[in-house]
Structure 1
Amino acid sequence: MTPTTSPSRPDTRPGSRVPALGALLRDGGIWADWAAAVGLVVLVVVFQIANPTFLSSGNIRSMLVASAILVVLSVGQTFVVLTGGIDLSVASAMTFGAVLFGFGISHGWGIAGCGVLAVLGGALIGVVNGLLIGHGRITDFVVTLGSLSAASGLALVIADGKPVTVVSVPLLMLSTGGVGIIGWTVLVAAVVAVLAHLVLFRTRWGTHVFAAGGSPEAATATGISVPAIKIAVYTVCGVLAGLAAILLVARVGAAEPAANTSFLLNSVAAVVLGGVSLVGGRGSVLGPVLGALLLTALSNGLTLLGVSPFYQPVAVGTVVVLAALLTRFRK
């Protein structure tokens, strides 16, 4: 009998490392998982060659501070996407929280009270989203699209369409202080990312989040309440949007009632670049963090090269589509 071989099995015998490495590099799933890391390295090399000031300590600090808000929002978005959902209201929830912060300031509240109010405002949007999606069984796209509009409208009504200037020494220190090139806002974002990783990968609740996203039917069969998980993850996303609102007010020095949709688009883009499956059940926290850093580096590098800001959304969109194409090869 003629022996048969399986061409799909890589050769793992001693001396066959080169073919095995080649097969690994040809695996599109590997590139999808590490798209953000590889893309970030490539961008750093290209922009440093094009402009030697790109990796200067001042510019690195500027990029890290600029990425802090997006990192916090992307981590919140990650919780939602891991369950197979999406939160289109995350930027509006942040704006709503910022306006509530300004409302507190204008009524003589202290910074701590205003911060709590901002977080509670974001949490309120998240709880409403979670209840309508989890128990109301309404599509996440429709619910969060509606809350996007509602939160934006409420922000305009509360602020009467006018920004509130916030002058505060603690907020000024939060936005400008730090240790070396690491600003305080960057440390806040890093703590959020670390805590999110521990919750998702070191707790039973985190396992339930992955299970609810991977197979809701199987999760229900094992006793997991998928509606409760939905409410929880949207609440987490709302709370982090409220925290991002505090960082935004500290950075801008004012509570702006106008929603910045770029934060929404970039938070979803960072999650896609980070290799989180849009159908749920697979992903990490590090990936979206790297995705947020990549998008910030891309914007910063193009600005240093004198590229018109009108072209920057085109570049971001192209990068995201390429990352989405890579996910087709993930097993």
Structure 2
Amino acid sequence: MTKTLEERPATKPSLLAEARQISFWAENAAPIGLVALVIVFSILSPSFLTLGNIRAMLVAAAILVVLAIAQAFVITTGGIDLSISATMTVGAIGFGMAWQAGFGFLLSAIITILAASLIGLVNGLLIAKGKVTDFIATLGTLSVATGLALIVSNGKPIAVSSPELLVLTSGSLGIFGYPIILAAIIGVAAWFVMFRTRFGLHVQAVGGNEESAIANGISASRVRIAVYLIAAGLAGVAALLLVARVGAAEPAINTQFLLNSIAAVVLGGVSLTGGKAKIVGPIIGALLLTALTNGLTLLGVSQFYQPLAVGLVVVLAALLTRYQKK
């Protein structure tokens, strides 16, 4: 009996060390996973680390990076935006119609962001003032926005031949295309807002403990409306990148952007229950998902298997988040 009691204290440090080790992997899942993918794919495919492919991956990742940042603001408050891909589509159609009407690039871009932001405002009001759960509210606006895009465009893509969009999609500084540079600028601005402003502190406080935040004078309803507006506005920016990449405003939504934007945030270590903010993590998560898809494509893996691979990665990341430091 005495021997058993003497052995017990030695067990606790061992368990603590094991917990810390798991926590390390959980906190750094995105960067570790990205490095691992780069090593594996560079070995399996000689063209993976070529300058041309790296540039293509970064350009392809730009839209997802912007959407992941948008989703990070919402998820930090404990919410979720299921309408973000449809919001992006509405913004794209808004640009296409404004461009066709001869409004020019700048005014068309403003209309794009305003059209997308309108969806975000509706989401925010439904959730903050109407007390509708975020899942139901954004699921509803997902359907409404999808219908609006199809009705307004008559279900047909709107061709856009804007010189400004051509520069945006083809211009670069070295291997960094303008889309990823724009996404990086947005990332820096988002990091500053989240971690260096009072508003960012309020976002984290509302997600951590809404009742306590309200008791400390924070207007939770205003914060929620604001984050959905931010998310929708960024979806409008993503719409510009999408139109530039495709060369047309497509009325059909791409649900892959919705799923991957949430997946990137989960991979980036942002808690789905709210209160834990990260910006760099979701950006790395978006780069990881893009690298995964690109690498599988280079290896000739069927597109049918790619969602399966992404899903497995996300489920693993979600399991690891249980061991993150609080």
TM-score w.r.t. the length of structure 2 is 0.95
Structure-2 separation of matches of 1:44 and 1:25: 27
* 1:125 equivalent in structure 2: 119
Structure-2 separation of matches of 1:266 and 1:55: 23
5 Å-filtered alignment, 1:185-224, equals 185-224=179-218
Structure-2 separation of matches of 1:7 and 1:281: 34
* 2:105 equivalent in structure 1: 111
Structure-2 separation of matches of 1:145 and 1:73: 17
5 Å-filtered alignment, 1:35-50, equals 35-50=29-44
* 2:51 equivalent in structure 1: 57
TM-superposed CA distance for 1:26, in Å, is 5.2
- Please tell me the residue identity of whatever aligns with 1:281: G
Q: Which deviations, in whole Å up to 9, do the C-alpha atoms of 1:172-213 show, x marking residues without a partner?
A: 010011111000111100001000000000011100000000
Q: Which deviations, in whole Å up to 9, do the C-alpha atoms of 1:227-285 show, x marking residues without a partner?
A: 11000000000000001000100111000000000000000000000000000001310
* 2:237 equivalent in structure 1: 243
The reply on whether 1:329 has 2:287 as its aligned counterpart is no
Q: Which deviations, in whole Å up to 9, do the C-alpha atoms of 1:108-144 show, x marking residues without a partner?
A: 1101111000100111010110011011111000000
Conserved? CA contact 1:24–1:30, under 8 Å:
no
Structure-2 separation of matches of 1:91 and 1:241: 7
Structure-1 separation of matches of 2:173 and 2:200: 32
Q: Moved runs in structure 1, 4+ residues, more than 3 A? A: 2-10
- Measured on the aligned residues, the alpha-carbon RMSD in Å equals 1.8
Structure-1 separation of matches of 2:324 and 2:172: 40
TM-superposed CA distance for 1:27, in Å, is 2.8
Q: Which deviations, in whole Å up to 9, do the C-alpha atoms of 1:144-179 show, x marking residues without a partner?
A: 000000001000011010101111111101001111
* 2:313 equivalent in structure 1: 319
- Please tell me the residue identity of whatever aligns with 2:207: G
- Please tell me the residue identity of whatever aligns with 1:142: I
Structure-2 separation of matches of 1:330 and 1:107: 51
Structure-1 separation of matches of 2:199 and 2:130: 22
Structure-2 separation of matches of 1:85 and 1:204: 20
Q: Aligned residues, how many?
A: 322
TM-superposed CA distance for 1:24, in Å, is 6.6
Structure-1 separation of matches of 2:36 and 2:107: 43
* 2:131 equivalent in structure 1: 137
* 1:291 equivalent in structure 2: 285
Conserved? CA contact 1:105–1:114, under 8 Å:
yes
- Between the two proteins, what is the percent identity of the paired residues? 57
Conserved? CA contact 2:124–2:225, under 8 Å:
yes
The reply on whether 1:303 has 2:297 as its aligned counterpart is yes
Structure-2 separation of matches of 1:123 and 1:284: 23
Structure-1 separation of matches of 2:27 and 2:307: 23
* 1:14 equivalent in structure 2: none
TM-superposed CA distance for 1:7, in Å, is 4.0
Gaps of 5+ in 2: none
Structure-1 separation of matches of 2:196 and 2:18: 29
- Please tell me the residue identity of whatever aligns with 1:156: L
TM-superposed CA distance for 1:217, in Å, is 0.6
Conserved? CA contact 2:194–2:277, under 8 Å:
no
Secondary structure of 1:309's aligned partner: coil
Structure-1 separation of matches of 2:57 and 2:169: 13
Equivalent of 1:164 in 145, 158, 162: 158
* 2:178 equivalent in structure 1: 184
Structure-2 separation of matches of 1:83 and 1:231: 11
Gaps of 5+ in 1: 11-18
Secondary structure of 2:264's aligned partner: helix
- Please tell me the residue identity of whatever aligns with 2:85: A
